[in-house]
Structure 1
Amino acid sequence: MASVLLDRAFAHFITSGRLEVHYPGGDRRVYTGRPGPRAGMWIADRATARALLLDPALKVGEAYMAGTLLPVDCTLYDLLHVLMLNVMERSPAGERFFSTMRYMARKWLQNNTLRRARRNVAHHYDLDSRLYRLFLDEDMQYSCGYFPTGNETLEQAQSAKKHHLAAKLHLVHPGMSVLDVGCGWGGMALTLARDYGARVTGITLSVEQLHIARQRAREAGLEGRIRFELLDYRAVVHQYDRIISIGMFEHVGVAHYGLFFDAMRRALKPAGVMVLHSIGRVEGPGVTNPWIDRYIFPGGYSPAVSEAVGAVERAGLWMTDCEIWRLHYARTIAHWRSRFAARRELIARMYDARFCRMFEFYLVVSELAFRVQGHLNFQLQLTREIDAVPLARDYMMGHSPVAAAHREGAASPFYEAAVLRA
C-alpha cells in the first residue's frame, strides 16, 4: 500500500525533469515533467517507502544515511537536484503539513539559550578538526567565499571574502579594536591583525575551535594583538571600534534576534561599525530543513533578510549598507564537495561510512539550496551614528588607501599607517 500511495505522490509531485523510481519488490516507475534534470532512485523496503510518504524532508536523508535509499545510474547530486527542484514547485502533502507544524514551533525549536547554544555548537564544530582540514581551504574558512570573476580557486575566493569584509569595516588606522563574534578557527581575526594592524578579540562556543585558533595565533606570532575566548555574545561587556560576525547569526535563533542586536549595539562604540555576514533566504520567513536541524546544525536557521532587518531597526541601529551574494556559496560548497570526495577514504577511517554519507548529503543539500531553493548570503553594515562611515561606498569597493596598498602587495602588517599619513 505504501508503494502505491508513494507512486501516486510522485506522479503528482514531479513537474520538472525525470525521476525513475525502483520500488521494493522490483516495480519500476518513471515520472516526467517539463525538460529538466534526470535521476533514478532505489527504495529498499516498505518501511522506507512509508517514511518517505509521511515526512520526506526528514526521511530522504535518513534513508540515504541508512543505505535504504540510493541513487540509480546517477549521483546523489543528480537525485537531490530533481527532488529539491520539484519541492520548490509543488511540495508533497506530508511535507506541507510538517512544515506548517515546524513553522509554528520554530521559536521553541530555535530557543538557543546559553546552555543549548553551547550544546548545538559542540554538535558540529567540535568534530575532529582534521576533518575540516581535509576539505576546507588552508585558512579553514567555513563560510561563503567571494568569487568576483567566477574563476577563483577556493583559496583565492576565501581571501577575497576576508578582504572584502575588512574593507566594509573601514579600519582607518592601526590599533583599532575588533570583536569577532563566532570567530571559528581564527582565520578572519588573524587576517585583521596581520594585514590591518587591528587588535582583535575572537569569541566562540566551540572548545575545538578555540584550541586551534589560539594555536594559530601563537604560531603566527600574533598573541600580542589577538585574544580568543570561550564566550557567548550575550556575555560581552567591553566596547569595540569594530565588530565582525561571519556565519554565526544562523545559530542565534529567531527568538533571540532582538537580544543579539541589542548586545551588539552595547558592544559597539558610538562611532563604531559592525559587519554581519549571514546565510539568508529569498522567499521570506521559513523553517530549517528537519534533517539539517537534527543531524548537522541543531537550533540553526537561515533567516529572511526582512527578519534580520526588522530586528536591526528595533535595536536602534543604522543599516548603512546591504549586499546580497547569490551563487557564491554554491561555488564554495562545490569546492568542498570535490575535496571531501577526494579524501573520502581517509574520512571513513576517521569516522565510518554512515558518517560519510551523512556529510555528503549535507554538502549536496546545502549547495542545491543556493542553486534552486532561493538561499543567499547577505551582508549588513551597521552603525550607531548616522555619520560613522563615509557618504559614498567607494572605500569598500577597492578605492580606499588600504585596498590600494593591498593591490600593490604591501607586506608590512602596519602599512596602513604609512599609507594614511601619505
Structure 2
Amino acid sequence: MEAVERVSEIVSNTVPLVSPIAQVAYVFSEYSHHTGNAMSTKINAQARAHEAMGGRTYVVVSDRRTHDYAEGTLVSYSSARSTKREWLTDTERAIDVVCGRALGRRPCVARFHREALAAVPADAEALVLYNYAGAITRRLTRSFDGRIVLHLGNEVFRTWRPREIRRVIERTHATVAVSDYLADTVAQRLGSRPDNLHVLHNGVDTEHFRPANRPAGEPCTILFVGNVVPHKGAHHLVAAAHEIARRTKDFRVHIVGSAGLRPSCGLSAYEVELRRAAAPLGDLVRFTPFVDRHSLPAVYAGADLFCMPVEWEEPAGQVVTEAMASGLPVVAARSGGIPEYLGPEGVYVDPHDTAALADALHALVVDPAERQRRGQALRARAESFTWERNVQTLMRLLAG
C-alpha cells in the first residue's frame, strides 16, 4: 500500500492525470487471466498503474464473455452479433477494403464495434481503442467529446491507402504504436510522420515476473511461450533441438502454448506435426498447452533460457519482456520491434538457419556463467519497461 501511495504522490507532482479513461479492446475479448490476448493484458496492467496514480479506468467489455481481472471499472454491453461469428469474415474484410479505398470508411468493422463504443461512459475524458482503426469514424468523433487514442499493436494498415490512414490518424488526439519499428512502418506508408503519431512501449510486471533460483545440476531448460502457430516459429526450435542433441543430451526444450488464445479443445494440424517432429527426441522436448496468466511466472521460473524464433516482423513481443523480467537470456530473431526491447544483450539469429540457431542455443546451454550474465543484464533492462512509465507517457500525450 505504501508503494502505491508513493507512486500516486510522485505522479501527482510530475504528470497531469487524465481520468476517467475508457479502454476498448476487441469486441469479444475476455478481460481475464484465462486469455492470452495481449490487449487484455495491457489494459489490465494500465488500469492497475492508472489506479495507483489516483485515476479511474473504465474497461468496456462484452456481456457474452467472462471477466475476472480486479482492476478497472467494468462497463458491459450487449452485441447483436453472435459469438459464433467472433471475427470478421473474409467477405466483411473484403468489403471494408473496397469501401475504405473508395469511400474512406470501413463499415463492417465500424458496425462490429458500434455497441462497444456506444457504451463508453459520458464522463470519460479519453477513449483508447486497440488496433481496429476502422472503428474511429466521423460519427465517433462527433459523439465522443473526449480525447481519442488509437493504440497500434500490429501492422493494422496493410490494406489501407495513405489518404485513408492519414484521415483516421487526424481524428485521434494521439495514435500510439508499441515500437519505433511499428511507428516507422506507418510513417513510411504515409511518406511522412504525423505530429500525433507516437511510440508507447509496452511495460512488464517486474513484481510477478522475477528471476528464480534454479536447482544446480539440472539440465538447461530452453523455453518457448506463445501461440503455437507457424509464424511464431516453434518448429525452428524443434529443428535446432535435433542439432543440439547430437552434441549433448544435457538440455530440455519446453514449448508452452496452444494455437489459440484460450484453452484449446484439441490440437491444430500444425501442433500435431510439431509433436511428430519432436517425437524422436523423446523426453528432451515436452509440450504444455495454454497456460493462464496467473501460472505464467512459474513457467518462466522453471527455465534457464528463452527462445523466440519468430518468422514475422513481431511488433513488440510480450513474452520477450516477460522472459527478460524473469532473468532469462534470450535468443531471438532480429525482427520488428524485438531489438528495441531486448537490446544489445540479446542473442540474435536467423531462425531459418537451423545450424546458427542451434549454435546460439548450445553456446548458452553449456555456459551457465554467460546465461547468468546476460540474464542479469536483461532483468536490469526490463526494470526500465514499467507499466507506470507507460501510463505516465500516455498521460503526457493526453494532456498535450
More helix by share: 1
Per the TM superposition, whether the score is higher than 0.5 is: no
TM score, norm. by length of structure 2:
0.31
TM score, norm. by length of structure 1:
0.30
